[in-house]
Amino acid sequence: MIIVLQKGATEKQLQDIVDRIKGYGLEPHVIVGVARTVIGLVGDKRGLEPRVFESMPGVEKAVPIMAPYKLASRDAKAEDTLIQVRDVVIGGSEPVYMAGPCAVESREQILETAYAVKEAGASILRGGAFKPRTSPYSFQGLGETGLQYLAEAGEAVDLPTISEVVNPSDVELVSQYVDILQIGARNMQNFALLRRVGQTRKPVLLKRGLSATIEEWLMAAEYIMSEGNYQVILCERGIRTFETATRNTLDVGAIALVRQLSHLPVVADPSHATGRRDLVVPAGCAAVAAGAQGLMVEVHPNPDAALSDGAQSLTPKQFREMVGAVAQIARSVMPEPAKYWWNKNAV
């Protein structure tokens, strides 16, 4: 259930409602929107009638949310969520490019990449330090040293950073070095990890699991939000299908649908979605045309020598061309999102 407050509701009225919710053993989540404040109720609401709240001063209405995800739902918050990371806004009218190598391999490599992607138009620097590799014999990342190099490179070019965290016990460590925590596809349903990043106040980029339904993906976001961290960015990175010609299958329809179902920012990762350098640009263009508000792209100064995911890594030059192509598409679809197909009221 969500409780929608009247426009002029006072602090005292808000507090009384919060207290009543707590009195029922439920947890209130206050979501302050531009037009309205709403309170999401989390917990077992069996037998609780909306009118219990509707009779309270300051309440406009109380509505049950049918979807199993509540805080992530558009019903809880009509307008798009904007996530600000330093001076970068994710979820607004400008596409955000998160670019960098799959893995931080050395100080020189991440510094060189950082300068190149910054020059090419990236707004966030990515680089894996804890790598969830399919084989235990593959390069596993540099760990904390990798995070140090990433942070140094981010500072050098003045870009915020993002890196994956794979263990609940590493969340504190990774949080000390990066601006955005990444939850990888393989960990989308690692509920202990989701809860742990939910306890931080760092933005979290949540990749869709390899075989996750849209509902499972949004439920994973709900895990993070239910701990009080509302800064979740959803990332479509391709799902596993019968097709083997590409590494995964970019689910373009999911991007458009999730823009309808949720207020959270949605970005896409065309690198892991395709696994092929020559398909990254067209897949990225398609994602933005469908409503993605940014892209995460693997870029390496020398992809053929990369320690991981070289086949899908762009050179800095290719990345620059991609930004140019995607920017044109974004200009035609993003300035007035209210008109577009992810706005339920418009179709």
Q: Which stretch binds Mn ion (CB under 5 A): 69-77, 94-102, 140-148, 201-209?
A: 94-102
How far apart are CB 106 and ligand PEP at their closest, in Å? 17
Binder of residue 185, out of ligand PEP, Mn ion, none (CB less than 5 to 8 A by kind): ligand PEP
Residue matched to tokens 């092929």:
276
Cβ-based neighbour number of residue 309 at 10 Å? 19
Binder of residue 320, out of ligand PEP, Mn ion, none (CB less than 5 to 8 A by kind): none
How far apart are CB 160 and ligand PEP at their closest, in Å? 16
CA 226/CA 40 separation, integer angstroms: 10
Site string for Mn ion, 99-128 (x = CB under 5 A): ---x--------------------------
58: closest CA among 129, 97, 115, 7?
7
* Chain residue whose CB lies nearest ligand PEP: 184
Q: Which stretch binds Mn ion (CB under 5 A): 40-48, 106-114, 185-193, 304-312?
A: 304-312
How far apart are CB 101 and Mn ion at their closest, in Å? 8
Q: Is the dihedral of CA 219, 224, 230, 232 positive or negative?
A: negative
10 Å CB burial of residue 255 (0-12, 13-18, 19+) is buried
β-pairing verdict for 83-85 and 88-90: antiparallel
Return the number of the residue (227 or 269) whose C-beta is nearest ligand PEP.
Answer: 269
Count of residues engaged in binding Mn ion, rule: CB under 5 A: 2
Q: Which stretch binds Mn ion (CB under 5 A): 78-86, 96-104, 164-172, 189-197?
A: 96-104
How far apart are CB 298 and Mn ion at their closest, in Å? 6
Binder of residue 68, out of Mn ion, ligand PEP, none (CB less than 5 to 8 A by kind): none
Question: 194 phi and psi, to 5 degrees?
Answer: -60, -45
CA 148/CA 65 separation, integer angstroms: 43
10 Å CB burial of residue 93 (0-12, 13-18, 19+) is middle
How far apart are CB 134 and Mn ion at their closest, in Å? 11
Interface with ligand PEP by CB under 6 A: which residues? 102, 128, 132, 184-186, 207, 237, 269, 272
Q: Which stretch binds Mn ion (CB under 5 A): 29-37, 192-200, 302-310, 328-336?
A: 302-310
Helix (H) or strand (E) holding 154: helix 144-157
Q: How far is Cα of residue 39 from the mean position of the Cα atoms in its chain?
A: 22
Q: Helical H runs in 158-213? A: 171-177, 191-198
